[in-house]
Copies of this chain bind each other. A is one copy, B any other.
């Protein structure tokens, strides 16, 4: 048994949604341990949150600057090794850069930064520091997404030509800003960055497509809208895109689809077969063949999937895993990466750059009235 990775958390205190999810994900596989935190931008709230989580009094910090400074003074075998960033977007870069500079690894919520320019600064900081940087693109942690990638790359679909990827939610169908903390910062350009919906969830759809295809999205033509009156950032968008040589696609993202939960779906079509995956029932992957055969692939440690994929499951088929398990895989693999165990895939600075390039190109295309824009990060 390897020592768990010691993690300090920035953000994610009382009332935050994603902080608790990160902590569940850390704990599930026992490869990470929360040892300290600066859990709120309000010092007293930060302290109370740390206490409620059972952190030692000395390691609930009033600010992330404090945390970085004082943890660095602890003995090597006690101090935190990595910082988990779960703040609103505008803090992602400053915290990550400072943590990396201070010699800590970083695992951060997405989007990595507010702009592509910031993402490039982050990439420099990662390179200079020599530390690991992970971006929690949770959906890449689903085993059936890995199986999808494996099938695409093995040529099982034939020559791939068409992609539909969509992500719809309903929770911003009305004007919640002001009352709801999550809604407030996500719709505020100073905290969220260039984009609203397309940054928040469109970036997941983009990331999923690039991951499964193994190809960059090269060009986009976009239409972003603020559907709800008075909203400052987009809450709905659609994008035509090109990938690699031959692939075209449509990406849709919306947070105003009243009644939708968290509908992320990817369809990929080659000339021999197509595949279809829906996040809300993540344990099924459909593969439909041109000759009419349809395979229903089901999740489970004992199922006929790629051996590396089957090895990801904690349970045999019929014992469904879900979102927290996908998230836990990212944390466990991050810990393995830091510890030098195997060569796990962990989304990182490449995905950060790609994501910000996507967001920026989409926003610029939409502003231009829908011109084609290249998606380059480099």
Which secondary structure characterizes the binding site on chain A? loop
Specify which chain B residues have a CB less than 8 angstroms from the CB of A321 in the assembled complex: 322-324
The 9 nearest A-B residue pairs measured at CB: A262-B318, A259-B288, A1-B54, A261-B318, A320-B322, A319-B323, A294-B296, A258-B290, A322-B322
Given A23-B30, A252-B164, A297-B294: A273 in contact with B258 (beta carbons within 8 A): yes
- A293 lies within 8 A of B286 (CB): no
| Residue from the list B236, B250, B259, B318 in contact with A263, Cβ < 8 A | B318
Alpha-carbon separation in the docked complex, A327 to B52 (Å) = 23
The answer on a CB contact under 8 Å between B314 and A162 is no
| Chain B residues within 8 Å of A227, by CB | 161-162, 248
Q: Which residues of B contact A3 (CB under 8 A)?
A: 54
A-side interface residues, number (CB < 8 Å) = 90
Q: Which residues 265-284 in A have Cβ within 8 Å of B in the complex?
A: 267, 269-274, 279-283
Question: A291 in the interface, Cβ–Cβ < 8 Å?
Answer: yes
Interface of A toward B, CB cutoff 8 Å: 1-3, 17, 20-21, 23-24, 27-30, 51-55, 157-158, 161-162, 164, 166, 169-171, 173-174, 221, 223, 225, 227, 236, 238, 240, 248, 250, 252, 254, 256-263, 267, 269-274, 279-283, 286-298, 300, 302-304, 314-325, 370, 372
> Which of B161, B225, B250, B286 touches A248 (beta carbons < 8 Å)?
B225
For this chain, the copies found in one complex come to 4
Question: Would A223 and B225 count as touching, CB distance under 8 A?
Answer: no
Write the nearest CB–CB distance from A295 to chain B, whole angstroms.
7
Taking a contact as CB atoms closer than 8 A, the residue among B23, B51, B256 that contacts A161 in the complex is B256
Q: How far is the CA of A76 from the CA of B316 in the complex (A)?
A: 38
B221→A370 contact, CB < 8 A: yes
CB pair A318–B288 under 8 Å, yes or no, is: no
Shortest distance from the beta carbon of A337 to any chain B beta carbon, whole Å: 19
Q: List 22 A-B contacts (CB under 8 A).
A: A162-B227, A162-B236, A162-B257, A173-B269, A221-B223, A223-B240, A238-B240, A250-B250, A250-B252, A254-B269, A257-B267, A258-B269, A258-B289, A258-B290, A261-B316, A281-B320, A283-B322, A292-B317, A294-B295, A295-B296, A315-B323, A320-B323
With contacts A24-B29, A295-B295 taken as known, whether A258 is within 8 angstroms of B158 at the C-beta atoms is yes
B317 pairs with A320, CB closer than 8 A: no
Contact in complex: B320, A288 (CB < 8 Å): no
Whether B292 pairs with A303 at a CB distance below 8 angstroms is: yes
CB atoms of A293 and B304 under 8 A apart? yes
Q: Besides A23-B30, A294-B298, 13 other CB < 8 A contacts?
A: A1-B53, A27-B30, A161-B256, A162-B256, A240-B370, A256-B269, A259-B274, A260-B288, A262-B316, A279-B320, A283-B322, A291-B304, A315-B324
**With the chains together, A161 CA to B271 CA distance in Å?**
35
Quick check: A258 and B157 within 8 Å, CB to CB?
yes
| Chain B residue at minimal CB-CB distance from A246 | B227
Query: Complex: how many Å from CA A353 to CA B96?
Result: 55
Whether the pair B21, A262 counts as a contact (CB closer than 8 A) is no
* C-alpha gap A17/B171 in the complex (Å): 39
> Which residues of B are found within 8 Å of A287, using beta-carbon distances?
259
Q: Point out the residues of chain B lying under 8 angstroms from A288, CB to CB.
A: 170, 258-260
**Residue on B with the closest CB to A50?**
B1
